Chain A
């Protein structure tokens, strides 16, 4: 998008910059700013979760309360959507939720990089969920899993029409899951930078977009949390579908 060598495009923030060039048999696996952001995210999650519950006090400190809150949040989510047998899938859902949430939050820090604003990252996450859930369905139900695509109580002559529709609907899950997260982050961060550009170009009247940016940053943090929540709740719903079929 950046034309005529303009270096202040609102889309510049999404550029991938390789820090360490690594080439493995023609495949570029360089350590980029995206990899750095992911590494920071994983490090933050690990440090936060280990150190905050390290004391194991009965009356929790604020940090411990925060990590217990996030733990309970996902436990409750699984209980509400999947039921008691959902406890088994807690590590999976919690990992995905924390990775997306902290990734979004790391992206909110100025000059850092939002890896969730790249479709390949979110699509990889959604593909993990999709493939995992499909495998889970086959393991639990065997070939009976295919009855998931048949709506019960339907006349037989409707089946040839409705089974392809159901299959397409099922296949569209990872795409809608990934596009939603990616588009929200991309749009939000682009909007922030576009308004930041107005601050400079408007001169004295620039305090108006500046005030707007402050409000928008708050909204963006809300969206960062909301999208992680949506990702987690949809994962739970898909697990529920695979376990119970309909």
Chain B
């Protein structure tokens, strides 16, 4: 009886130790620089593509040759920055979540 209890406690210690190690390992994230750069660049390029596309469409329909493109290109750039801001905020949230747990 006593022996099995001791064994159980030993096991618990072992599991705790392993879990602790596992948590420690997961903290330094393999946040590769290229992956991060890729994420950011696709966000901004995608927003610019949409902005330019809408601008060209507007120009085609309303015959406002350069102005639709100019305005929507600028709006697209802003949207790209907004996308990046959202991605960054999500990453920050995840980081604080990881530290807390």
B83 A172 Cβ-Cβ under 8 A: yes
Chain A 173-197 interface 0/1 with B at a Cβ cutoff of 8 Å (1 = within) = 1011001100110000000000000
Between A and B, how many residue pairs show CB distances below 8 Å? 53
A168 B54 Cβ-Cβ under 8 A: yes
Interface check A60, CB cutoff 8 A: no
A148 to chain B, nearest CB (A): 13
Q: Which residues of B contact A168 (CB under 8 A)?
A: 47, 50-51, 54, 72, 75-76, 79
Chain B 75-100 interface 0/1 with A at a Cβ cutoff of 8 Å (1 = within) = 11011101100100010000000000
Given A184-B38, A226-B35, are A179 and B46 also a contact pair (CB < 8 Å)?
Answer: yes
Bound CA span A176–B43, Å: 5
Interface bracket on B:
20 to 34
Interface check B39, CB cutoff 8 A: yes
Bound CA span A15–B86, Å: 37
Q: Which residues of A contact B42 (CB under 8 A)?
A: 176, 179-180, 183
B14 to chain A, nearest CB (A): 21
Bound CA span A168–B80, Å: 9
A171 B45 Cβ-Cβ under 8 A: no
Bound CA span A180–B45, Å: 11
Interface check B49, CB cutoff 8 A: yes
Of A165, A176, A180, A237, the residue contacting B75 (CB under 8 A) is A165
What is the size, in residues, of chain A's interface with B at 8 Å between Cβ atoms?
A: 16
A132 to chain B, nearest CB (A): 19
A172 B75 Cβ-Cβ under 8 A: no
Chain B 22-51 interface 0/1 with A at a Cβ cutoff of 8 Å (1 = within) = 000000000000010011001101110111
B46 A172 Cβ-Cβ under 8 A: yes
Interface check A4, CB cutoff 8 A: no
A172 B47 Cβ-Cβ under 8 A: yes
Bound CA span A77–B43, Å: 22
Least CB separation from A233: chain B residue: B90
Chain A 144-185 interface 0/1 with B at a Cβ cutoff of 8 Å (1 = within) = 000000000000000000001110110111011001100110
A180 B39 Cβ-Cβ under 8 A: yes
Of A165, A180, A237, the residue contacting B38 (CB under 8 A) is A180
Least CB separation from A175: chain B residue: B46
Of A169, A183, A226, the residue contacting B79 (CB under 8 A) is A169
Residue from B35, B43, B79, B86 having most chain A Cβ neighbours under 10 A: B79
A131 to chain B, nearest CB (A): 15
Given A179-B42, A183-B38, A183-B42, are A172 and B49 also a contact pair (CB < 8 Å)?
Answer: yes
A-B contact pairs, 25 of them (CB 8 A): A165-B75, A168-B50, A168-B51, A168-B54, A169-B47, A171-B50, A172-B46, A172-B47, A172-B49, A172-B50, A172-B79, A172-B83, A173-B46, A175-B49, A175-B50, A176-B43, A176-B45, A176-B47, A176-B83, A179-B45, A180-B38, A180-B39, A180-B42, A183-B42, A184-B38
Which residues of B are at the interface with A, using a C-beta cutoff of 8 A? 35, 38-39, 42-43, 45-47, 49-51, 54, 72, 75-76, 78-80, 82-83, 86, 90
- Not counting A168-B79, A183-B42, A184-B38, a sample of 7 additional A-B residue pairs whose C-beta atoms are within 8 angstroms of each other reads A166-B79, A168-B54, A172-B46, A172-B76, A173-B46, A180-B42, A226-B35
